[in-house]
A and B are shown apart, each in its own frame.
Chain A
Amino acid sequence: MKKVCSIFIFLSFFILSGCWDQYELEERANILGLAIDLVEQEDIKEENEVTHPEGEFPNEKRHTFYKITAQIAVPGKIKLGPEGGSEGSDKTSWVIQTTGHTLKDAMANLQQQLAERLYLGHLQIVIISDEIAERGIEDVNDYLGRNPEVRRTAWMVVNKKDASKVIQAAPPLETVPSLYLSDTLDNAVKFGKLPREYLGRFWIDLSDKGIDGILPAVKVVDNDRIMVDGFALFRGEKMVDRTTPIEIGVLMNLTESNAGGYSTPVEVQDGIYFIESQERTNNIDVTLKDGEPTANISVKIDAILDEQINTDSLNDEVINEIEKEANKKMEKLSQKLVASLQDTGSDALGIGARIRAKHGGYWDKEIQSDERWIDVFQEMDISITYHYRIRRAGIRSQ
């Protein structure tokens, strides 16, 4: 028995000590941000023959060429952290670009050019151009969803035309631009300016029946920061429309119930009042009337008054007036948004999913598929009521 034990102990030196997957932090090329664009074949100077000989890539259903722009941080090799101070972020991280037939092909090309192993575990943000979004993003989703390293809390955003510009935007505040970009989005969620629609949630909405995905749409401002510029509305895997930033707030009023961060100007009598929503609760109620689905959305918003212009006669009556006016205004805006959603056929509100949940029998018999649902969605009645309550008006009494 002693012998057996000693053999086991001897063996365990070999088995328990080694680590095949040991990669020191310094040996990893951490991709923090990834921008994906489409390019024309003519624009490619030469095809990298990393995964296939030139001209012998298997026939795709749809001929694509991706250009990926990756922002890479190699700890210890590229200086991070506060150093010098005045240097912008353009010197602290490394932005590299390559192309490929598919995302994997492009990543393989990228790996071929680097000494360190690519690591996607710290990926914060994926930017896709609206060209890709319009063509359908199932290929991008497949690669990212299959890779065990990618976090589902990363963001995916849509940029107009050139996605690589977003990655190259160099904020002077943070040494790693991608971190600043993803912080912009994370904080927007905290302030109630953006729903928690990160990659994982987006994928869930894409798979679900009766709900369509939305992605934040961004644009670069002054080459050094990004602005959330609305939503990209999807229908299935394809982007069909973009909203304006104010419509983010409207859409969130209808579906999300976290803190509301959007403010609206309201005109009452001669005064203009800015009210900012603080807290909202909403309820989407779906019913079947004579076999036709209808939806009632009621939204309750607690708001504070931020600014008063043209007048100084704030009192209880005026507050009541403002509330009524705000209700009217938001109802109008919401109806406009819903009408445009119905127009483009993108059920970002998830009304279909709710009908499917509440009236399963009806769905199973009449609807069954997403396509059929959109037809019904475009025709259905959706009524919206708002109920604003203004709680306080800052520290001025009038």
Chain B
Amino acid sequence: MHKHHEKVTPLQLGTVIASTIIGVSILALPRFVVLEAGKGAPLASLVGITLVFIGLLGIVMLGRRFPEQTLIGYNQIILGKPFGSVISVLFIVYMTILLGLEARQFGEVIAGSLLTNTPIQIPIFIIIFLCAVSGLQNVSTFVYIHLLYIPLIVIPIILIIFPSLKDVAFYHLTPIVGHHPSVTKIVQGGLIAAQAISNVFIISMLIPSMKNPKKCIKSSIVGFWIGSITVFIIVTMCLAVFGEEEIKEMFWPTLILGRMVNIPAELLSRVDAILLISWIYAVFTTLLSVYFFVIRGVAELFRFERYRLLTLLIFPVVFAVALIPNDIFEMYEFLLYVTKYGLILTIGYPVFLWLIACLRRKREES
């Protein structure tokens, strides 16, 4: 184990969770949840949030049990070295693919709605580049970046969504279980919502760097709910304003919500620009978290702690993954497919691991 000079406080841990949750997906998420669950989308996202919450609790409990270890460490201690390493590799591969696809989704939004003539490679390249140069080698830089951006993400989003309250039609929201209600629909919508926010488990890389790893529970719960409630509000407001039928026709309902907002007194007529800016912050912090996980994971797994070099080596891989899908439809299909099976890793696996650890009475030897 490498030494941890930098110490993460519980507040910082909470902000990392919140800003990791609010990510690229918030623009498209309402559509995909509504496609599955219809008017039940808010309920479905609550189900999804609860699912991820269970996964997060798994991670946090593991962190309390093994205060000196990261996810890679838990794998090896609990499952034994060879099998644990295989799982760790799986995690790293999954996160690398996710990083590439999320960067691609970012590129699609930029190319599709903002800079229509810019080659899509450019925004993708720049966002990964930004993550790569902003100090993945240093835990405290990483958490301070999150701490800096979280107010710039949450506050503008809430402020922009607030004026759209006057466009809300309450008949868009009931019945809350949706039409032709069924448990499958709600669960499937919930899974989609869970897919969008499931990358919170990256905090397992941070827990060993905390001043007092045992204190991670409360702050991660608060951070988790701040992020999740923001996501929930976004889904609910999009549904309340647009209704299920109209949402199905747009790629990025949240972006269009920003376009419909009229700030009172007409100070600004196109507030969607502000929404996009804070969304770009959100994308940056989320991708940074995923990148951080990949770099730290590889470093620990192969006991190779030259972070800069690793960052540089992984960069082209991520970029290549981002360029795989041919078009926007294929990209979303691919992304949903990958994250759907990723849920096994991100939610199911931590809980499973924790149960095994309890059963086998594994604890860190101190």
Partners in one complex: yes
Residues of A within 8 A of B (CB): 1, 4, 8, 12, 15-16, 19-21, 121, 145, 148, 151-153, 196, 200-201, 203-204, 207-209, 350, 353-354, 356-358, 360, 363-364
Cβ of A21 and Cβ of B259 under 8 Å apart? no
Cβ of B119 and Cβ of A209 under 8 Å apart? no
Cβ of A151 and Cβ of B174 under 8 Å apart? no
Cβ of B117 and Cβ of A21 under 8 Å apart? yes
Residues of B within 8 A of A (CB): 112-119, 122, 125-126, 129, 133, 166-167, 169-175, 177-181, 241-243, 245-246, 249, 256, 259-260, 262, 269-270, 308, 312
Cβ of B173 and Cβ of A357 under 8 Å apart? yes
B171 nearest in chain A by CB position:
A357
Cβ of A15 and Cβ of B122 under 8 Å apart? yes
Contacts A203-B246, A360-B175 given: A153-B262 contact, CB under 8 Å? yes
Cβ of A360 and Cβ of B242 under 8 Å apart? no
Chain A residues whose CB sits within 8 angstroms of the CB of B116 once the complex forms: 21, 148
29 contacts between A and B (CB under 8 A): A15-B122, A19-B115, A20-B115, A20-B117, A20-B118, A21-B115, A21-B116, A21-B118, A121-B270, A151-B270, A152-B259, A153-B260, A153-B262, A196-B167, A200-B259, A204-B169, A204-B241, A204-B242, A204-B246, A208-B172, A208-B245, A350-B171, A353-B169, A353-B171, A357-B170, A357-B174, A357-B175, A360-B177, A363-B179
Chain A residues whose CB sits within 8 angstroms of the CB of B260 once the complex forms: 152-153, 200
Neighbour of B112 across the interface among A21, A148, A203, A208, CB < 8 A: A148
Q: Enumerate the 4 nearest inter-chain pairs by beta-carbon distance, A residue then B residue, closest first.
A: A357-B171, A360-B175, A207-B245, A20-B118
A397 to B260, CA, bound (A): 45
Chain A residues whose CB sits within 8 angstroms of the CB of B133 once the complex forms: 8
Chain B residues whose CB sits within 8 angstroms of the CB of A354 once the complex forms: 171
Chain A residues whose CB sits within 8 angstroms of the CB of B178 once the complex forms: 360
A201 nearest in chain B by CB position:
B167
A358 to B179, CA, bound (A): 11
A4 to B311, CA, bound (A): 12
A46 to B245, CA, bound (A): 41
Q: In the complex, how many angstroms separate the beta carbon of B4 from the nearest chain A beta carbon?
A: 23
Chain B residues whose CB sits within 8 angstroms of the CB of A209 once the complex forms: 245
Given contacts A153-B259, A360-B175, A363-B179, 20 further A-B contacts (CB under 8 A): A4-B308, A8-B129, A15-B126, A15-B129, A19-B115, A20-B119, A21-B114, A151-B259, A152-B256, A152-B260, A153-B260, A200-B256, A200-B259, A203-B246, A204-B246, A208-B243, A208-B245, A357-B174, A357-B175, A360-B178
Chain A residues whose CB sits within 8 angstroms of the CB of B125 once the complex forms: 15
Q: In the complex, how many angstroms separate the beta carbon of A317 from the nearest chain B beta carbon?
A: 39
Cβ of A145 and Cβ of B249 under 8 Å apart? yes
Q: In the complex, how many angstroms separate the beta carbon of B30 from the nearest chain A beta carbon?
A: 14
Chain B residues whose CB sits within 8 angstroms of the CB of A207 once the complex forms: 243, 245-246, 249
Q: In the complex, how many angstroms separate the beta carbon of B161 from the nearest chain A beta carbon?
A: 15
Q: In the complex, how many angstroms separate the beta carbon of A256 from the nearest chain B beta carbon?
A: 11
Q: In the complex, how many angstroms separate the beta carbon of B306 from the nearest chain A beta carbon?
A: 10
A4 to B313, CA, bound (A): 12
Cβ of A364 and Cβ of B180 under 8 Å apart? yes
Cβ of B171 and Cβ of A4 under 8 Å apart? no
Neighbour of A358 across the interface among B169, B174, B243, B312, CB < 8 A: B174
Q: In the complex, how many angstroms separate the beta carbon of B42 from the nearest chain A beta carbon?
A: 14
A8 to B129, CA, bound (A): 9
Residue of B181, B249, B308 most packed against chain A (CB within 10 A): B249
Q: In the complex, how many angstroms separate the beta carbon of A148 from the nearest chain B beta carbon?
A: 4
Cβ of B312 and Cβ of A4 under 8 Å apart? yes
Contacts A16-B126, A20-B119 given: A360-B246 contact, CB under 8 Å? no
Cβ of B312 and Cβ of A20 under 8 Å apart? no
B112 nearest in chain A by CB position:
A148
Cβ of B169 and Cβ of A1 under 8 Å apart? no
Residue of B116, B171, B173 most packed against chain A (CB within 10 A): B171
Q: In the complex, how many angstroms separate the beta carbon of A103 from the nearest chain B beta carbon?
A: 17
Cβ of A1 and Cβ of B115 under 8 Å apart? no
Chain A residues whose CB sits within 8 angstroms of the CB of B117 once the complex forms: 20-21
A357 to B241, CA, bound (A): 14
Chain B residues whose CB sits within 8 angstroms of the CB of A208 once the complex forms: 172, 243, 245-246
Chain A residues whose CB sits within 8 angstroms of the CB of B119 once the complex forms: 20
Chain A residues whose CB sits within 8 angstroms of the CB of B270 once the complex forms: 121, 151
Chain B residues whose CB sits within 8 angstroms of the CB of A204 once the complex forms: 169, 241-243, 246
A353 to B308, CA, bound (A): 57
A207 to B34, CA, bound (A): 14
Chain A residues whose CB sits within 8 angstroms of the CB of B166 once the complex forms: 196
Q: In the complex, how many angstroms separate the beta carbon of B148 from the nearest chain A beta carbon?
A: 20
A358 to B171, CA, bound (A): 8
